[in-house]
Amino acid sequence: MADEHGSIPGEHAAGEAPHTSIWPFAIATASGITFAGVITYWPLLVVGLAAFVASLGGWLLEDARGVRFGDVVSRTEPGVFRHVSQRKLGMWIFLVSEIMFFSAIIGSALALRTRASFWPDPATDTPLNISLTAVNTFILIASSFTMVQALKGIEHGSMARLRIYLLATLVLGATFVSIQVYEYNALLFGEHLTPWVNAVRPELGTFGTAFYMQTGFHGAHVTGGVLGLLYLNYKSWKKNWFSQSNHEAVELVGLYWHFVDIVWIFLFPIVYLI
């Protein structure tokens, strides 16, 4: 993603390579440190979060100075990907790594389940609010539809359609995260479902670990997508920032957003229904 920032309008001649940026790499490194801290040592989590905020601030500062998605799209080397830009290829590689990441998390949760002495039955004694989460699932799926419409809008040169559907996607994504925060609050303080063994509901310790591990990491990814959507919404109102011929940022954020939607389609039945 380091080539995501391109030229300042009018600064480069046609065919010149766009600017590169260190900040996407810094953000990725900080994210890795943060996730490592979540599962190992909490001071590492603090360091990772601080590095993430600093890296994101550096990227936004660079953006504020006028560096932007390039009008010139660098293509990959000749071969099977010759019609795919380096940025899009980078996003696909990133998503493949995310598939492995979530597969490992889901596999670990299933392994915990086979060894747990107790696992709540969704039909009788689950502490989860399945009805509310079903509605939340529909909200997230609907946000994929609005994201597709936003991309179609800019592909047809309609800035109004882009802005309307980007805003709708942002609202739906923020609603999903808000409902999940509400659910976490109810589970932690109402149902005593914690990611560790507690004195009130000790039998839910293993289930709580698996539940928060899967839904928490997914929620973090959705939150990252909401931040990306916030950026797109802001940039869609800047004059001449996106156009019918220069809108790869919308497509790349859309790819990521569809991915987190698909992951949730798998997580919802695995975590809540089975």
Listed by start position, the domains of the chain span 1-75, 85-273
* Backbone φ, ψ for residue 5 (5° rounding): -85, 135
Helix intervals (H) in 11-158: 23-39, 42-64, 86-115, 130-155
> Does 1-75 carry CATH code 1.10.3470?
no
Q: Which CATH number fits domain 85-273: 1.20.120.80, 2.60.40.1260, 3.40.50.300, 1.10.3720.10?
A: 1.20.120.80
CB 27, CB 48: distance < 8 Å: no
Sole residue written with tokens 């079903």? 134
Residue 197 CA, distance from chain mean position: 29
**pTM (2 decimals)?**
0.83
> What is the distance between the alpha carbons of residues 193 and 163, in angstroms, rounded to a whole number?
40
Question: Judging by DSSP bridges, how do beta strands 68-69 and 5-6 pair with one another?
Answer: antiparallel
The pLDDT value recorded for residue 244 is 85
Residue pLDDT tens, the chain, 274 long? 444 444 334 344 434 445 577 888 898 899 889 888 877 888 898 999 999 999 988 888 887 776 654 444 455 555 666 677 778 888 899 999 999 999 999 999 999 999 888 999 988 889 999 999 999 999 999 999 999 999 999 999 899 999 999 999 999 999 999 999 999 999 999 999 998 889 999 999 999 999 999 999 999 999 999 999 999 999 899 877 888 888 888 999 999 999 999 999 999 999 999 8
CB 72, CB 12: distance < 8 Å: yes
